[in-house]
Structure 1
């Protein structure tokens, strides 16, 4: 900042504090982008841990030589793994509604940091303690993983609220498309961590991911502000007045969950995300085990190959955000990608144990599934949380984001119970046909929104670079 002296007509001197330069503010924005990107990537990396070591954990449960095996059959162990995924997603879904609601009432960065610290402790208790103490207990696994799910939900709604405060405005789709890639990139990092540490013992993968997440929470807590800083300006009498740096909207009263649900467009995207997140998280939870069991590849090889699904998610997220910005609407982009996913899923189910082709088609599947999912929980969350129906109320962002992601997580929780049953009774091909059906339903959920957006594209071209907000009149659904 710079200061200067000036003299009013009365001859009284006063000091004017000039706001920091635009360049300094841009650097702070980029720093906030980087810290929130890494922090939520670590959220995802930590929850990727169990998915990457399921085969080792299952073997340990069945072949425990120092005591009675936790399960008698492979099917029982696999079913319990599916149950753990389901209770994680169930707890995560239920908590998202609460943390989304609370995130509009508390300091978002403190909520994010608290979630990182507490969920990392739960991950340590879940995966490291039983192995090191030779203490295998179904209730212990259930209780600690429920706690892990409840506390992991602190992250997303509050991270979205922070990003919306710092990065509202034009090119939101591209910015949030790049930022939402923290999820698949976090999965990749988690898979790499797991593949590298797994030879030393699967329990150390839980310890390492928990430790990194725990430590980075303090970077979030002390390194960023939840909103752009206030600029102080002294008046002629020396009294400080506060003017807020530019943000997406003015303050307002926080809204309730039911009020958020019936905002224009929210219900349609909630239903769409309930189906889509089930499919996306099925790949998240089950892809390494599928590759290990179906093709008899080593667990470390399966973890490394599964990275290509997340690579596709990064490409799809960035590309989808850019295209939707240029089009001036998002639903047609999301619908097109989901329609493409139907063919990609069918091809992947037939691809066979060919590493190159498996990785290539897996990448396409990631582009067309993880990409639109990232758009919905990222760009669409901000669009819905800052639409004209809110009349400039910025105190709805976290609530709307939590509602959208929480509904998706509820659908995913149901899916994690269904998937092992379908696989065990019918086979993996039936699982992929289930995915195809669910993605088709996702398209139908936003079909009206897509048609309205296409009509508006031809009726009213948005000036390039203008912020994309939801059209109140066109969101009668």
Structure 2
């Protein structure tokens, strides 16, 4: 039998038992925001230290003039406490094979993450999400830090680093299905795209904070770049354990899907928790929900593009002349955060537009198509000057991360509360795991392929990203046609709007259009 979190119980003892629903909702948004910020922060160190593990001896850093944004991006050669790191770190310093090994490290993490995602979502719908999330965060922190300890222990075995990445990826899979399910438990469907678009800024905030944390301690040895984010996610896990109320009913409030939950409980003749377990949807049943497979496949290619930037952008910036100059590893890590600043704007904008148009698929596909000219411009024009690189990087981040954020948040929550479930259960964590797990397979392939393609120049990498973006948009074509058809019908017959929304119930795009489901 679940009860309120220990921290909430203490607060009630000190201040009184009455805590408003609005306060709990705000606390849930804040804690889940911090939780997934820490998840993404702990994924950034590999991208920051790539150029230290596998430096390019032919590139020289100049110190002529500062970056336009203060001292944050000033060119400065990174010094380390060990001479070995200035020449790379075995086994990653072995010429072209070293670059391939860096890609394999990314693959180990993301493959384990994507496989673990399916099991994590299934477990998330059957266990206490607060405890499940706490365990995942603390164990993730341990294995991220263990990777960094390889520096202090002088470990040069590729198998050690592969193992640490695989174990970290497995526990990182607990994060996304859990936080989306928790937010879905507290918030209904109204303005879900905008709310989750703003909330999903944690992805970019995590990338930014992880980059800054890893870069800030890099001069003390690359191991610290893993230990600091690992400690961050561990501490965030303690906060989740103490204060996160994963279910409204645990703290005396009604679930926004109260009728559905009670239906399960009454029909099963069990208490609330057992009813939820009996009503939990399996993987195959969740795959049959209209829209799940198209969005899952779209996210496969969307995350292929987004995660290639996540893992390789700092390395690309340090290996590519900008305005005729190369930058240090630390400066490249700092500069790469601006891609995520654009991503924050893109996620909020995509959520707002999809709410206004009642067209999730159309919004996601449009952003993916617009990312193609943005990628072309960044590839061809990003090296002209520092200011041009910053502007184009943020625009690219906006279009690349916008649909990725929309699909993994509002769309997943829509489909996890789909009317085809007939009120018998909710499948938020399971549906989220299917969509994000499939996307994570693409996220694993993108960085791996980049490790091989980059040997022959970055133009090939950008071509791969453009093809991926086009396929991602094309996979939503049937849903886009359905949405646009219904939008045009609404414009032509405004008086029959109510009937139109009723007719959408059986549409393949039903969870994406309208709020009356």
The TM tier, using the shorter chain, reads: 0.7 to 0.9
Q: 1:26 aligns with which of 15, 19, 22?
A: 22
Structure 1 residues 39 and 248 mapped into 2: Cα distance closer, same or farther (>3 Å)? farther
Counterpart of 2:306? 280
Measured in 2, the distance between the counterparts of 1:403 and 1:147 equals 20
Counterpart of 2:282? 256
Measured in 2, the distance between the counterparts of 1:219 and 1:470 equals 45
Post-superposition shift, 1:395? 3.0
1:328 aligns with 2:348: no
Post-superposition shift, 1:394? 4.0
Unaligned runs of 5+ in 1: 1-18, 233-242
Residue pair 1:255, 1:395 contacting (<8 A) in 2 also = yes
More strand, by proportion:
1
1:113 aligns with 2:134: yes
Measured in 2, the distance between the counterparts of 1:314 and 1:67 equals 34
Counterpart of 1:149? 169
Unaligned runs of 5+ in 2: 1-15, 56-79, 265-278, 511-517
Q: Deviations over 1:9-47 (max 9, x none)?
A: xxxxxxxxxx987x8210110011001001101000001
Structure 1 residues 65 and 137 mapped into 2: Cα distance closer, same or farther (>3 Å)? farther
Counterpart of 2:487? 457
Post-superposition shift, 1:65? 9.8
Measured in 1, the distance between the counterparts of 2:230 and 2:375 equals 33
Q: Which runs of structure 2 are paired with 1:230-241 in the superposition (5 Å)? A: none
Q: Which runs of structure 2 are paired with 1:407-446 in the superposition (5 Å)? A: 407-424=438-455, 426-446=456-476
Measured in 2, the distance between the counterparts of 1:204 and 1:210 equals 10
Indicate the SS of the match to 2:405: helix
Indicate the SS of the match to 1:229: helix
Q: TM-score of the superposition, structure 1-length normalised?
A: 0.87
Structure 1 residues 453 and 75 mapped into 2: Cα distance closer, same or farther (>3 Å)? same
Measured in 2, the distance between the counterparts of 1:116 and 1:195 equals 22
Measured in 1, the distance between the counterparts of 2:48 and 2:219 equals 12
Measured in 1, the distance between the counterparts of 2:88 and 2:355 equals 59
Post-superposition shift, 1:334? 1.1
Counterpart of 1:399? 430
Residue pair 2:479, 2:509 contacting (<8 A) in 1 also = no
Measured in 1, the distance between the counterparts of 2:350 and 2:435 equals 19
Q: 2:31 aligns with which of 10, 29, 35?
A: 35
Measured in 2, the distance between the counterparts of 1:115 and 1:170 equals 30
Q: Deviations over 1:287-320 (max 9, x none)?
A: 0000101222111111111111101110011111
Structure 1 residues 334 and 71 mapped into 2: Cα distance closer, same or farther (>3 Å)? closer
Indicate the SS of the match to 2:42: helix
Residue pair 2:186, 2:255 contacting (<8 A) in 1 also = no
Measured in 2, the distance between the counterparts of 1:71 and 1:354 equals 31
1:91 aligns with 2:112: yes
1:346 aligns with 2:383: no
Q: Deviations over 1:80-131 (max 9, x none)?
A: 010010111100000000001110000112111111100100011111x211
Measured in 2, the distance between the counterparts of 1:207 and 1:470 equals 54
Counterpart of 2:194? 174
Measured in 1, the distance between the counterparts of 2:502 and 2:39 equals 29
Post-superposition shift, 1:371? 1.1
Q: Which runs of structure 2 are paired with 1:238-317 in the superposition (5 Å)? A: 244-247=254-257, 250-251=260-261, 252=264, 253-295=279-321, 296-317=326-347
Q: Deviations over 1:175-217 (max 9, x none)?
A: 1101111101110111111222222222112111111111111
Q: 1:53 aligns with which of 25, 49, 52?
A: 49
Indicate the SS of the match to 2:54: helix
Post-superposition shift, 1:473? 2.1
1:366 aligns with 2:366: no
Structure 1 residues 257 and 67 mapped into 2: Cα distance closer, same or farther (>3 Å)? closer
Number of equivalenced pairs? 443
Structure 1 residues 403 and 254 mapped into 2: Cα distance closer, same or farther (>3 Å)? same
Counterpart of 1:382? 413
Measured in 2, the distance between the counterparts of 1:305 and 1:122 equals 27
Residue pair 2:144, 2:165 contacting (<8 A) in 1 also = yes
Post-superposition shift, 1:459? 2.2
Measured in 2, the distance between the counterparts of 1:460 and 1:318 equals 25
Measured in 2, the distance between the counterparts of 1:66 and 1:190 equals 24
Indicate the SS of the match to 1:246: coil
